[in-house]
Amino acid sequence: MVSLKDISAVCGVSVATVSKALNGHKDIGESTKRHIKQVAEEMGYLPNSAAKALKTNRSYNIGVLFADEAHNGLKHDYFASVLDSLKKTVEAHGYDMTFINCSNERPNRTSYLNHVRYRGFDGVVIACVDFYDDEVAELINSDIPVVTIDHLFDNRIAVISDNVQGMKDLLTYIYEMGHRKVAYICGNDTSVTRNRLTSFYRTAEELHMEVPDSYVVHGSYRDIDKAEEATEQLLGLDDPPTCIIYPDDFSCFGGLNVIKKLGLKVPDDISIAGYDGIMIGSYIEPQLTTLKQNTDSIGSQAGEKIISLIEKPRTTVIEPVIISGEVCNGETVGKAVR
């Protein structure tokens, strides 16, 4: 491994001069800097990350807390896309991204905060977790720079998909297609679910649509089995809905299974709509009608904000960043037939 001493010998300058040149100190002439940097590059010099961390008081490593209750991990289409965008953004700024070990079975397990301190992360992005967990609260209330995704804390920057406007846009589109009997299978009890459900009721009220209690069924995100049960329940009503909104696109597959089993067709007999806009929804037949969330923007904004908190803590405003989505019309919501 090439050392500063090796470079100093080739350049004919002191180790201190090499160090200053590589770290951009102003008391070294520009021509000397360029020469030393060129020699260092030609010799294949790479700075030691531990030494760099000691000098800058940074690890250039951002931790990601990601622990969805359904244990889908990176198979979770929505979060996988968000995290991919986050990764590209932080890497473009010279940072690495490392997942925080959330396993309760890991040896010598410590709290999230202690684990973050042990790993020396410069900051943390919380992408999916039980936000009411005591360990999460401890991390949120610490001095570690933190950005959350899809959950709002008063003292932290949050990057949030506009679930209120998203549900309003989706239900309004369904209404414009002639549907007046619309059911909603909502996900787990989270702030995202509560915002979408509130928007569903409020939009229905604005459109003068009646929503019987039986039309709102509590399910779970990305759970085909629960989606199947809820679909059977809704289609078995004496006055079934003409359209069903699912908690996410993946859950729609459970609905399609039941609809096919009952000998019905989408959208001729029953319309359905998803939420998220995952890629596979655009390839199924018929193409899924859904609310596409802007995962690229959510991930990149989370990356930009966490780096700003690390590098410019005094001038970074603590505020929510709201990201809009858009309705993808698709083919699974047809004109109402009854």
Burial class for 120, CB neighbours closer than 10 Å (0-12, 13-18, 19+)? middle
Confidence (pLDDT) at 68: 65
DSSP string over 199-257: HHHHHHHHTT----GGGEEE--TT-HHHHHHHHHHHHTSSS--SEEE-SSTTTHHHHHH
- Give the CB-side neighbour count of residue 139, counting CA atoms within 13 A: 29
> In order of start, what are the domains of the chain with their CATH numbers?
4-47 (1.10.260.40), 61-161+296-323 (3.40.50.2300), 163-293 (3.40.50.2300)
Strand partners, 64: 99, 125
Confidence (pLDDT) at 178: 97
Supply the pTM of this predicted model.
0.82
> How is residue 187 written in tokens?
């996900």
Distance (Å, whole) CA 233 – CA 251: 15
Distance (Å, whole) CA 166 – CA 273: 13
Residues 6 or more apart whose CB falls under 8 angstroms from that of 271 comprise 174, 177, 179, 242, 243, 244, 289, 332, 333, 334, 336
126 SS3 class: strand
| Amino acid letter for position 285 | E
Kindly report the length of the chain. 338
Distance (Å, whole) CA 244 – CA 254: 12
Q: SS3 string of 280-330?
A: HHHCCCCCCCEEECCHHHHHHHHHHHHHHHHHCCCCCCCCEEEECCEEECC
Query: Per-residue confidence of the chain (338 residues) as pLDDT tens digits?
Result: 788 889 999 999 998 898 888 877 888 889 999 999 999 989 888 776 555 655 557 789 999 998 766 556 677 788 999 999 999 999 999 999 999 877 666 666 789 999 999 889 999 999 988 888 999 999 999 999 999 999 999 899 999 999 999 999 999 999 999 999 999 999 998 889 999 999 999 999 999 999 999 999 999 999 999 999 999 999 999 999 999 999 999 999 999 999 999 999 999 999 999 999 998 888 889 999 999 999 999 999 999 999 999 999 999 999 999 999 999 999 999 998 65
> How is residue 229 written in tokens?
């049960």
Cα torsion 132, 134, 135, 136: sign? positive
